[in-house]
Amino acid sequence: MPQDPLIDAALAARSMAYAPYSRFTVGTALRTTDGATYAGCNVENAAYPEGTCAEAGAIAAMVLAGGRRIAELVVAGGGSAPCAPCGGCRQKLREFAGPEMVIHIVDAAGQTLLRTSLAELLPHSFGPDNLAR
């Protein structure tokens, strides 16, 4: 059954995750406001907590390519519980997305476990628009 290309990209990223310690693999794919897609996976490190989350990898790929605004995000984890972005990643996402950004959290088969917004995950957020420029 064909999936949404953004879900497929998140699942493909998850398959490349480097998680030899926790064995908890995560993949993320984001779509920018201009339609480009970027993916990332979690990368663990023996020196905890020096690993990186999948969301951070996808954001870094987007920024490297010149992207600056996220329109939509998919997070693919394992198990039956939704794998929501950690607190640090929620703030990283807020730097490049507004509270209305839609986040789809899927399982290892690509089935949606939760559809939410950044505002629901990070209420009363502080972002770039809070700073006088």
Residue-wise pLDDT for 12-30, tens only, equals 999 999 999 999 999 999 9
Strands 27-32 and 70-76: antiparallel
CATH number of the structural domain spanning residue 9: 3.40.140.10
> How many domains in the chain?
1
Which residues participate in catalysis according to the annotation?
55
What is the predicted pLDDT for the residue at 49? 86
What is the predicted pLDDT for the residue at 100? 97
Query: Residue 70 belongs to what domain range?
Result: 5-130
pTM of the predicted protein model: 0.94
Whole-number Cα distances in Å, 133 to 21, 23, 92, 95, 130: 43, 43, 19, 15, 9
Per-residue DSSP letter, 18: B
Distance CA 78, CA 58 (A): 18
Inform me whether the pLDDT recorded for 69 exceeds 50.
yes
For residue 53, what are its two tokens?
A: 């989350």
Inform me whether the pLDDT recorded for 107 exceeds 80.
yes
Distance CA 63, CA 123 (A): 25
Confidence of residue 133 (pLDDT cuts 50, 70, 90): low
Confidence of residue 7 (pLDDT cuts 50, 70, 90): very high
What is the predicted pLDDT for the residue at 3? 77
Inform me whether the pLDDT recorded for 2 exceeds 60.
no
